[in-house]
């Protein structure tokens, strides 16, 4: 990106975003990081032998993936494979600025007081979508309610409790020490707080399951974006980890901003987005605080899922906290 392009993007960002509460990142700092990282991952990706790892099983549900960190093996629309790092432009200056604001706000927040035996609580509203075949052979888009409450042990030692539709359910497996696909608070706290190291770790995981030689329809860059979104929506994340995740997202090619988006709770905000194979994943932020509100998936092309502009998935985080016992709220 040339200095003229970056200046133009920063002017666009100033039009889209309100004045920041924190100091702006220095001009060129994130651009230099992007160039350095993309050079490294580009060479790394080309040197990896194809076909070493089978792809993940495809699912029929179009989703946020985990609805808030239940599982990060999300399906997204499209038929592509891995995104080539040098084929997609870097994140725009507007998205870098918004993500940096979110990072600064997260870093300045007071860390939650968390101890062994406690649970991270989240409450969500919204829906995901499923394609179902009718008796006449036509495909019909159905919405599945994703309003729920969930309690996850901070150390993963107990089964997760989910309350949905007025019924309580203990999920079959204990999270254990946690993974990128099923994080616990302790797992998030142990992640690297350096954005470059963190995005490499996330990309390595995406490369194994969604890179060359897999049958994934997602691709490495898109899956990296999805994974970071899932981790950020975990409900309670250590401030330094959240800040690193936002800055890691700014290193992914193809990230941009849309000025107006509405989450599943009806709250308006500005969104960091990434378009891939006919869909746009949007992370919606409150404009005044840069606080993450929720995520939605919007079609940008007509498809069997619907017309361009259709919101096929929308889930908002409306409450979160740390509690001493599963089943109680903060």
The answer to whether residue 72 sits within a structural domain is: yes
The answer to whether residue 136 sits within a structural domain is: yes
Confidence band of 224 (pLDDT split at 50, 70, 90): very high
Strand partners, 283: 272, 295
Predicted local distance difference test score (pLDDT) of residue 120: 97
Lowest mean pLDDT among 88-102, 108-122, 201-215, 277-291: 201-215
Please give the distance of CA 54 from its chain centroid, rounded to a whole number.
Answer: 23
Confidence band of 140 (pLDDT split at 50, 70, 90): confident
Q: Could you tell me which of 125, 148, 143, 163 has the C-alpha nearest to residue 316? A: 125
Distance CA 196, CA 171 (A): 34
Predicted local distance difference test score (pLDDT) of residue 133: 83
Query: Is 225 in contact with 249 (CB distance < 8 Å)?
Result: yes
The answer to whether residue 330 sits within a structural domain is: no
Rounded average pLDDT over 168-190: 94
Distance CA 218, CA 205 (A): 13
Q: What total of structural domains would you count in the chain?
A: 1
**pLDDT score of 75 more than 90:** no
Please give the distance of CA 63 from its chain centroid, rounded to a whole number.
Answer: 12
Rounded average pLDDT over 142-146: 93
Give φ, ψ of 112 to 5 degrees.
Answer: -70, 145
250: which residues sit within 8 A by CB, 6+ positions away? 30, 33, 34, 91, 95, 96, 99, 100, 195
Confidence band of 47 (pLDDT split at 50, 70, 90): very low
pTM for the model stands at 0.78
**Residue 222 belongs to domain spanning:** 3-323
Rounded average pLDDT over 140-168: 95
Predicted local distance difference test score (pLDDT) of residue 128: 95
The answer to whether residue 319 sits within a structural domain is: yes
Rounded average pLDDT over 48-68: 31
Predicted local distance difference test score (pLDDT) of residue 119: 97
The answer to whether residue 172 sits within a structural domain is: yes
Rounded average pLDDT over 262-285: 97
The answer to whether residue 215 sits within a structural domain is: yes
Distance CA 312, CA 20 (A): 32
The answer to whether residue 29 sits within a structural domain is: yes
Compare 9 and 200 and report the one with higher pLDDT: 200
The answer to whether residue 85 sits within a structural domain is: yes
Lowest mean pLDDT among 130-144, 172-186, 250-264, 286-300: 130-144
């Amino acid at each position: 990106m040339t200095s003229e392009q970056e200046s133009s993007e920063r002017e666009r960002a100033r039009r889209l975003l309100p004045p920041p509460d924190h100091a702006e990142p220095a001009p060129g700092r994130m651009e230099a990081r992007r160039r350095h990282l993309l050079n490294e991952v580009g060479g790394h990706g080309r040197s990896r032998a194809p076909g070493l790892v089978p792809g993940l099983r495809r699912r029929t549900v179009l989703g946020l993936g985990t609805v808030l960190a239940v599982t990060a093996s999300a399906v997204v629309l499209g038929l592509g494979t891995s995104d080539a790092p040098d084929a997609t432009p870097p994140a725009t200056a507007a998205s870098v600025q918004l993500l940096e604001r979110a990072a600064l706000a997260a870093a300045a927040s007071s860390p939650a007081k968390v101890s062994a035996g406690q649970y991270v609580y989240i409450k969500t509203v919204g829906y995901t979508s499923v394609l179902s075949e009718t008796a006449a052979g036509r495909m019909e888009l159905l919405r599945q309610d994703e309003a729920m409450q969930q309690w996850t042990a901070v150390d993963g030692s107990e089964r997760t409790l989910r309350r949905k539709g007025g019924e309580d359910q203990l999920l079959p497996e204990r999270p254990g020490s946690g993974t990128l696909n099923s994080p616990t608070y302790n797992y998030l706290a142990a992640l690297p707080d350096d954005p470059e190291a963190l995005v490499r770790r996330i990309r390595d995981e995406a490369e194994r399951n969604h890179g060359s030689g897999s049958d994934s329809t997602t691709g490495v860059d898109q899956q990296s974006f999805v994974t970071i979104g899932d981790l950020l929506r975990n409900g309670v994340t250590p401030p330094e980890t959240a800040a690193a995740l936002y800055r890691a997202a700014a290193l992914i090619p193809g990230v941009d901003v849309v000025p107006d988006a509405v989450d599943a709770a009806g709250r308006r905000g500005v969104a960091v987005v990434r378009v891939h194979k006919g869909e746009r994943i949007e992370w919606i932020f409150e404009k005044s605080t840069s606080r993450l509100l929720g995520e939605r998936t919007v079609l940008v092309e007509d498809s069997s899922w619907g017309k361009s502009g259709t919101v096929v998935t929308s889930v908002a985080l409306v409450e979160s906290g740390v509690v001493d016992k599963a089943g109680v709220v903060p």
